[in-house]
Chains A and B, each alone.
Chain A
Amino acid sequence: MRCEKVRLKIDAYVSGELPPRVIVAVEKHLRACDGCRQTAAVARRLVALGQALPIPPVPEGFAQRVQALARQRIARPTPAVSSWNLAAWWRLVLAPMNAAASDEEKLGSIEPGKQADLVVWNRDLRKIQAAKDLTGLEVAATYVGGKAVYTSPMFEDA
């Protein structure tokens, strides 16, 4: 095996990825070649350096910040959402309502006597025919127990 090939395979050799017959060929070469033995030593030292060096912990609150951004993105679809599967998107929109409808005495429809948990959209969802119709779709307001827990700045005066 030539030096050029050993140099390329040295990381795989050090991490134990090579098949047995290739390992044998590499080791035979290393026994006879100072340069490639040095290359193997450098690869091992880099592995050891990487393992010894701690990475700072993930910044505190990272997961919560991502989750908050995800909620915003779901509530206010970006143009990228137009490439979503429309059926999947419908399930996303209706998931909270479906979950609520499991308690049919209190939830699931807008009627007197039922819990006023509802989401108001800026457009009639029943008229959405294609993914392009999602553009500009926004939550206008969210009510829980009859109280507005979210109102879009666009609709605050409504």
Chain B
Amino acid sequence: MESVIDKSSEQLMREVAEGDLDAFGQIVLRHQKLAWGIAYRFLGDQHEAEDIAQEAFLRILDAAPRYKPTAAFTTYLSRIVTRLCLDHARKKHPAATDALPAVQDNSLSATERLAIQDRELAIRAALDRLPPAQRMAVVLRYFDGLDCRSVALAMDTTVKAAERLLARARDTLEPLLANLFKE
């Protein structure tokens, strides 16, 4: 019998559509890092990011009977998380979070942790200067490592539109992150 590990996410989604919650659990375990990563980097707040990532998976559950694998599952998930993040940003004015970025690596010295926090704060402040769509394009491309075509798919837009967003975002970010670029 095919083990659940061998099954593709698209196959698992067919099983979720049949009511298989174990298959849904596998979907969550496999892709939680992707959903969380996009949401956290865009929102800068762990609690908000968890809410968004959680909602994304529940929407996937609700929509499972209608799911058609026209694109990779990761693209589908990225699109849902992206849309939720952008809707969230439009509802409230994005402000730089006051919370210090979490640095989880216990092997780091206090100095190293402070340096990472400073860098995170600088990036956070720079990202918050961007309009939501530019910010999302930057998060997907530079922090989640998506290529331009995947950025366009996740944002449900054209490659050209994604390229324009990135070009404008770079112009804003370059002077703001100049100190970090020197390191």
The reply to whether B147 and A50 contact each other, CB–CB distance below 8 Å, is no
Asked if A33 is at the interface (CB within 8 A of a chain B CB), the reply is: no
Q: Within the complex, what minimum Cβ distance (angstroms) separates A33 from chain B?
A: 15
Q: At the interface, yes or no: A56 with Cβ under 8 Å from chain B?
A: yes
B66 part of interface (Cβ distance < 8 Å) = yes
Most chain A CB within a 10 A radius of its CB, from B62, B101, B160: B62
Residues of chain B in range 48-84 having any CB-CB distance to chain A below 8 Å: 50, 53-54, 57-58, 61-62, 65-66
A148 at the interface (CB under 8 A from B): no
SS class, residues of chain B in contact with chain A: helix
Instruction: With both chains docked as a complex, state the minimum distance between the C-beta of A85 and any C-beta of chain B, in angstroms.
Output: 4
Q: Contacts of B61 on A, CB cut-off 8 Å? A: 70, 73-74
Q: Are B174 and A42 in contact (CB under 8 A)?
A: yes
Interface residue? B33 (CB, 8 A): yes
B19 within 8 A of A: yes
Chain A residues closer than 8 Å to B153, beta-carbon distance = none
B20 interface contact, C-beta 8 A? yes
Nearest chain B CB to A106 CB, angstrom units: 23
Chain B residue nearest to A15 (CB atoms) is B147
How many whole Å from B129's CB to the nearest CB in chain A?
14
Docked Cα-Cα span, A11 to B101, in Å, equals 28
B177 within 8 A of A: yes
CB under 8 Å from chain B, chain A span 54-111 = 54-59, 62-63, 65-67, 69-71, 73-74, 78, 80-81, 83-85, 88-89, 91-93, 95
Are A46 and B138 touching (Cβ within 8 A)?
Answer: yes
B86 at the interface (CB under 8 A from A): no
**By the criterion CB–CB under 8 Å, are A56 and B102 in contact?**
yes
- For B119, list chain A residues within 8 Å (CB): 53
Closest CB-CB distance, B138 to chain A, in whole Å?
A: 7
Contacts of B25 in A (CB 8 A): 63, 67, 70
A8 touches B163 (CB 8 A): yes
The answer to the question of A7 belonging to the interface, with a C-beta cut-off of 8 Å to chain B, is yes
Known: A63-B28, A63-B29, A88-B65. A49 touches B177 (CB 8 A): yes
A39 at interface by CB-CB < 8 Å: yes
Q: Does A17 contact B (CB under 8 A)?
A: yes
- Distance in angstroms from A72 CB to nearest chain B CB is 10
Would you list the 10 A-B pairs with minimal beta carbon distance, nearest first? A92-B19, A50-B142, A50-B143, A8-B163, A46-B142, A85-B65, A88-B65, A56-B102, A58-B36, A80-B62
Q: A51-B145, A88-B19 are in contact. List 20 more A-B contacts (CB 8 A).
A: A17-B147, A45-B181, A46-B170, A49-B180, A50-B145, A55-B37, A56-B40, A58-B32, A58-B33, A59-B50, A66-B28, A66-B54, A66-B57, A67-B24, A70-B21, A70-B25, A84-B65, A85-B17, A91-B18, A95-B20
